[in-house]
Amino acid sequence: MNRVSLHFRRTLLLLLLIALPRPSVPQDEIRKKQDELQAIRDQIRDLEGKIGEQQKNERETLDLLDSYEKKGTLIRTLITRLKNDETTLTHRIENTRKGMEKLESQLQFLRKHYASYVISVYKRGRTRDLELLLSANSVNQVYIRNQYLKRFTNQRRRDAQGIARKQKQVEDTQAQLSIQLSEEQRLLAEKGAEDERLASLAADRRDALTKIRKDRKFAQREIDRQMRAAKELEGLIAELIEADRIKKEHEAEEARKARIPVPVPEGGTLESRKGKLRWPVSEGSIVAHFGNQTHPTLKTITQNTGIDIAARVGSPVTSVADGQISKILWLPSYGNLIIISHPGGFYTVYTHLAEITVAEGQKVKEGEVIGNTGEALNGPRLHFEIWKGREKQNPEQWLGRQ
């Protein structure tokens, strides 16, 4: 009876484990990710149509270059998403395989012990049950032993049902694994196709750049675009300053009503870090300084509101100080652009980014990667600016030694 009781408890424990819920990915989350990927694909398709029209019109060559940059950004974003999905799926497949091994082990255990039941019943089952009843010392003991035998029989039936359920779990897990492996193959194929499309796009962009760099009229148009983009950027900084002012007034008013101290911004201002700030890229040299610049071909004078740092395409770009991502956008001539707000009314600007790895509203630490460098019209580089309120600062006076 002790051996039977022990086996009963072990079997009951296994049946409870069978009933435990298995972790799964919410369908809403899966659908959301699929919708996001499809939205990126739709934007790429729309740009391809626009590019086809721009390629027919020489006057739109600079706009064509913009479209190439936008399409490249979207393709890189899509590839990154596909890589992340692939990594997530690989972990899921590994967990499914481990779960499958565990299920098969539990199934073998149940089958083995159930088989011993069947053999025992076949050899002595009814005779042993009869002996147990006849050896009772009283009618009450006969009743108790009869109830025990009924429960024991019911337990064997539940064991059989447990084996059936476990077998169904194994089959369901095998089907799930098959679906996951098929999805993994699809992701790999799509990622490979996007890699090829990005390489083809890079070749088209190089051809467009070569044509633009050889033609003086495009150089003048690009200067005009840069001036308009700089003006728009200045307007964006002004909007952020006003938004921050309103936010601080609101926080101060709320603190006054609640009779609590006015919240103090986290981290110190950049003022004390002047001449010691980290560089936004770990390697690179300044190829365009702050202030007035003379165009090498047209000999016209323009103002550079920051500095241009030559850096290899794909180099990590990091935040020069603690702050918050205030704005992410795309501007003609600047390409992908990030504005980070810092305590004390400071803002830093990073442009010509091939890829962005942060989101608006996100808090970032000094040295945290926010994206990768791309290529401007005049070569691979990062354009970097520092603003103190509405005043443009010379970044060279703020950055430490490289």
| Distances in whole angstroms, Cα of residue 123 to Cα of each of 2, 31, 150, 205, 388 | 20, 57, 19, 83, 92
What is the pLDDT, as a whole number, of residue 278? 94
Q: What pLDDT is recorded for position 398?
A: 95
The DSSP letter of residue 272 is G
Q: What is the DSSP letter of 315?
A: -
How many other C-beta atoms lie within 10 A of the C-beta of residue 108?
A: 11
The answer to whether residue 323 scores a pLDDT higher than 80 is yes
| Per-residue exposure over 158-195, b if at least 16 CB sit within 10 Å of its own CB, e if not | ebeebbeebeebbeebeebbeebeeebeebeebbeebe
CATH 2.70.70.10 fits 222-267+275-397, yes or no: yes
CA distance 6 to 146: 20
Give the residue-averaged pLDDT of 228-252: 88
Distance CA 289, CA 121 (A): 93
How far, rounded to the nearest angstrom, does the alpha carbon of residue 343 sit from its chain's CA centroid? Answer: 27
User: pLDDT tens-digit profile of 17-51?
Assistant: 444 444 455 567 667 777 877 887 888 888 778 77
Side chain identity at residue 102, one-letter code: K
Q: Is 83 helix (H, G, I), strand (E, B) or coil?
A: helix
Choose the most confident range, by mean pLDDT, from 102-106, 267-271, 392-396. Answer: 392-396
| Per-residue pLDDT, 130 | 46
pLDDT of residue 23: 47
d(CA 346, CA 340): 8
DSSP state at residue 296: T
Q: What is the mean pLDDT of residues 356-374?
A: 93
* pLDDT of 131 above 60: no
> Is residue 176 pLDDT above 50, yes or no?
yes
Domain ranges for the chain: 2-214, 222-267+275-397
The length of the chain is 402
- pLDDT, tens digit, for every residue of 42-54? 888 887 787 777 7
Residue 159 pLDDT > 70, yes or no? no
Mean pLDDT of 334-362: 93
Question: What amino acid occupies position 9?
Answer: R
Structural contact between residues 400 and 277, judged by C-beta atoms closer than 8 angstroms: yes
Of 305, 356, 365, 316, the C-alpha closest to 335 is: 356
Q: What is the greatest pairwise CA distance in the chain?
A: 118
The string over 306-331, giving b where at least 16 C-beta atoms fall within 10 Å of a residue's C-beta and e elsewhere, is bbbbbbeeebbbbbbbbbbbbbbeeb
What integer best gives the mean pLDDT of the chain? Answer: 77
pLDDT at 4 over 50: no
* Residue carrying structure tokens 């369908």: 27
Q: What is the pTM of this model?
A: 0.65
